[in-house]
């Protein structure tokens, strides 16, 4: 995916720098008021810039307010089959919003990729994704292959009586972000993979089973259960960690209303 990253501020420029390599050498565009210390092509007007680059990229990542981005892309939108995927990131790097071209334009996948790079949260609102509510937390030994991971995931889903079509995310700790078997398993399953920051797992006050073995190996209290719990909103475990050879899997379900949430999930 050929990607452009556009920022209006110094804060956004810092995020843009972190995204450049992670997204496959993305092109960076910075407003002329951004400090000279940041490298990138300069622009004066985000609307003018958008008009120039909208059809030159597969994906556009704006680090700017949503309202500004909506006004910038409004006149360029033609059809979901041809428009690029547009993702909006706040200057604090907390959220990556799939704004335009969620499925056809690849914005949902781009939002997930951006979130994994900056440690933020992807916000996906397309109906087919938003109604899925199960998150699969995965811990695995180094070098494990994709088939073993898929087999463990399917075994956990069967035990919980959950179908693959109910799964919104796979999740693991950021220390596993380069684990080839895990990345391949997510691709084969066709399910987005989110990585949770190690610091977030260590500081979490949510209840999950801790493992002395995992603590010794990777300096984390656990992986599968906290990843499943922390990857979503108002989550509760529906299947505690289940070990299948070199893979550990836990399942959490998100609630769509506050009344459905367990007290510990609030």
The domains of the chain are located at 3-127, 131-265
Fold of 131-265: Nucleotidyltransferase; domain 5 (3.30.420)
Low-confidence residues of the chain: pLDDT under 70: 256-266
pLDDT the model gives residue 266: 40
Q: How far apart are CA 229 and CA 231, in angstroms?
A: 6
* Token pair belonging to 145: 């292959």
| Count of all residues that appear for the chain in the document | 266
pLDDT the model gives residue 261: 44
pTM of the predicted model as reported, rounded to 2 decimal places: 0.83
Q: How far apart are CA 189 and CA 141, in angstroms?
A: 19
* Token pair belonging to 68: 């500004």
pLDDT the model gives residue 258: 47
pLDDT the model gives residue 257: 55
Nearest CA-CA partner of 171 in 249, 95, 104, 233: 249
What CATH number matches the domain at 3-127, 3.30.420.10, 1.10.443.10, 2.40.160.10, 3.40.50.11220?
3.40.50.11220
**Spatial contact of 161 and 179, defined as CB atoms under 8 Å apart:** no
Q: Strand 247-254 to strand 235-244: parallel, antiparallel, or no bridges (unpaired)? A: antiparallel
pLDDT the model gives residue 209: 86
CB atoms within 10 A of CB 95: 18
């Amino acid at each position: 995916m050929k990607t452009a990253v556009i920022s209006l501020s110094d804060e956004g420029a810092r995020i843009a720098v972190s995204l450049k390599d992670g997204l496959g050498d993305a092109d960076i565009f910075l407003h002329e008021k951004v400090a000279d210390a940041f490298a990138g092509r300069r622009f004066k007007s985000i609307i003018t810039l958008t008009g120039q680059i909208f059809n030159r990229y597969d994906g556009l990542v704006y680090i700017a307010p949503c309202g500004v981005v909506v006004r910038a892309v409004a006149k360029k939108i033609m059809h979901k089959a041809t428009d690029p995927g547009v993702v909006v990131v706040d200057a604090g790097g907390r959220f990556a919003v799939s704004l335009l071209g969620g499925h056809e334009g690849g914005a949902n996948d781009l939002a997930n990729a951006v979130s994994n790079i900056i440690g933020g949260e992807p916000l996906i609102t397309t109906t087919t994704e938003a109604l899925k509510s199960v998150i699969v937390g995965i811990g695995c030994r180094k070098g494990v292959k994709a088939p073993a991971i898929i087999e463990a995931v399917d075994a956990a889903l069967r035990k919980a009586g959950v179908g693959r079509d109910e799964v919104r995310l796979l999740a693991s700790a950021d220390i596993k972000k380069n684990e080839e078997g895990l990345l391949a398993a997510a691709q084969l399953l066709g399910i987005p993979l989110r990585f949770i920051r190690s610091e977030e797992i260590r500081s979490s006050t949510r209840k999950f089973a801790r493992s002395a073995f995992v603590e010794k190996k990777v300096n984390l209290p656990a992986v599968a259960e906290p990843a499943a719990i922390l990857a979503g909103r108002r989550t509760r475990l529906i299947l505690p960690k289940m070990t299948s050879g070199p893979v550990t899997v836990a399942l959490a379900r998100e609630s769509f209303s506050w009344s459905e949430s367990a007290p510990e999930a609030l």
